[in-house]
């Protein structure tokens, strides 16, 4: 059995003393990190607080996840994208010290007060535009630990096949091998892959749990998995987000507003942007279903199971509308499962994760 690494508290305190003005008695509050394997602490005195992230590196490989987090976070901040300031980094121990943005996610803000949704989502669109246009410039992809580009191979391996084995096989218990869906997966990957289009900064999880509200301003977090990719992906992540479940009319309004603004800023074609969007949005939703299944069933994080049904309902809708009608095999698999069965599977996965 692998020996568990002990938290290097003395080194963490040294990192705090070297890089901040915090002094006196420190209070350490463990924080929940959603789907992350990292450990988070809020470290506070009577007047101030900050966040300590601990993720012990497995080896000396460069870049590791921590290296990417620090480089990309500083790159985004330098480009004027609202992200937490990074105060210090101890690479050997995997300790990173960052600004405390509080505990209110975009999801929390709009679920508790729906009247704030238009203004906050307008601001989220502004953050996304700023990130994609500004942060693309000067991004050194050698610092991206989890591949440097979102391309056809990545789509098939990390999103479509992930959906097959994690959700269709692992959660629903279907006997579907790679060959059965190969035609649809290859077609979808070619439609959604980089093709001839220009690539932009891609967060790859730009959704309401990764946007923090501090005061009246949104800040972006969890950016260590960034790379280059199609601009439609992060927009789809925001609009299809099962955590909030935006009404269709608002999704369409934001899609049109974003595509026009993006086209103006980049001199790109709005029509081409909108033509490619449904395919990339489908990839995103398949990845979401795969991830929620994996995090619930394998990682034992029960709260993700409650969002499987909204994502499933969205998938049904996507495959029933052009241009996604061309994915006939995938549509047939989805149509073979009734909604009640999927809801029962999600409830069972949640119970099992809670009881594990």
Domain check: are 76 and 112 in the same one?
A: no
CB 59 within 8 A of CB 128: no
pLDDT at 195 exceeding the cut of 70: no
Q: Tell me: do 177 and 252 sit in the same domain.
A: yes
Give the end of a domain, one of 54, 81, 99: 99
Residues 52 and 158 in one domain: no
Q: Are residues 173 and 128 in the same domain?
A: yes
Model pLDDT for residues 123-141, shown as the tens digit of each residue: 999 999 999 999 999 999 9
Q: How confident is the model at residue 70 (pLDDT cuts 50, 70, 90)?
A: very high
| Number of domains forming the structure of the chain | 2
pLDDT tens by residue, 203-255:
999 999 999 999 999 999 999 999 999 999 999 999 999 999 999 999 999 99
Residues 45 and 190 in one domain: no
Asked whether residue 1 is domain-assigned, the answer is no
Q: Each residue of 42-66: pLDDT tens digit?
A: 999 988 999 999 999 988 899 999 9
**Assigned domain for 219 exists:** yes
| pLDDT at residue 35 in the model | 73
Both 171 and 320 in one domain: the answer is yes
pLDDT of residue 1: 43
Q: Write b or e for each residue in 56-81: b if 16 or more Cβ atoms lie within 10 A of its Cβ, otherwise e.
A: bbeeeeebbbbbbbbbbbebbbebeb
Q: Which of 81, 99, 117 is the C-terminal boundary of a domain?
A: 99
CATH code, domain with 67: 3.30.200.20
The enclosing domain of 229 has a CATH number of 3.90.1200.10
Give the global pTM. Answer: 0.96
Q: Are residues 165 and 245 in the same domain?
A: yes
Q: Is the pLDDT of residue 292 over 50?
A: yes
pLDDT of residue 194: 64
Same-domain check for residues 152 and 193: yes
User: Which pLDDT value is given to residue 196?
Assistant: 58
| pLDDT higher than threshold 80 for residue 71 | yes
Tell me, what's the pLDDT at 356?
86
How do residues 167-182 score in pLDDT, each as one tens digit?
999 999 999 999 999 9
Mean pLDDT of the chain, nearest integer: 96
User: Whole domain around residue 269: which residue ranges?
Assistant: 106-355
Model confidence at 24, pLDDT cuts 50, 70, 90, reads: confident
Q: Is the pLDDT of residue 117 over 90?
A: yes
pLDDT at residue number 3: 61
């Amino acid at each position: 059995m692998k020996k568990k690494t002990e938290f290097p508290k003395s080194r963490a305190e040294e990192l705090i003393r070297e890089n901040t003005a915090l002094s006196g008695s420190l209070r350490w509050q463990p924080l929940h990190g959603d789907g992350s394997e990292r450990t988070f602490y809020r470290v506070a005195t009577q007047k101030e607080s900050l966040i300590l992230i601990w993720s012990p590196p497995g080896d000396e490989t460069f870049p590791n996840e921590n290296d990417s987090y620090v480089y990309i976070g500083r790159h985004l901040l330098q480009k004027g994208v609202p992200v937490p300031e990074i105060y210090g980094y101890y690479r050997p121990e995997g300790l990173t010290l960052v600004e405390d943005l509080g505990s209110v996610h975009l999801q929390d803000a709009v679920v508790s007060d729906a009247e704030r949704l238009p203004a906050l989502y307008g601001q989220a669109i502004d953050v996304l535009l700023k990130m994609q246009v500004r942060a693309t410039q000067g991004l050194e992809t050698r610092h991206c630990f989890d591949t440097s580009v979102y391309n056809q191979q990545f789509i098939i391996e990390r999103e479509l096949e992930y959906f097959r084995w994690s959700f269709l096989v692992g959660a629903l218990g279907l006997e579907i091998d790679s060959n059965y869906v190969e035609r649809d997966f290859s077609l979808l990957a070619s439609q959604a892959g980089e093709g001839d289009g220009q690539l932009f900064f891609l967060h790859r999880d730009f959704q309401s749990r990764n946007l923090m509200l501090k005061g009246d301003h949104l800040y972006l977090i969890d950016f260590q998995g960034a790379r280059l990719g199609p601009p439609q992906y992060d927009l789809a992540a925001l609009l299809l987000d099962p955590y909030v479940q935006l009404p269709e009319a608002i999704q369409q309004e934001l899609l049109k507003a974003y595509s026009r603004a993006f086209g103006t800023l980049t001199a790109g074609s709005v029509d081409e942007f909108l033509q490619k969007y449904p395919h990339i949005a489908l990839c995103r939703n398949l990845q979401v279903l795969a991830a929620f299944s994996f995090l619930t069933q394998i990682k034992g994080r029960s709260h993700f199971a409650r969002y499987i049904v909204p994502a499933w309902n969205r998938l049904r809708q996507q495959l029933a509308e052009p241009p996604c009608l061309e994915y006939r095999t995938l549509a047939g698999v989805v149509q073979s499962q009734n909604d009640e069965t999927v809801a029962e599977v999600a409830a069972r996965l949640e119970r099992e994760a809670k009881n594990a």
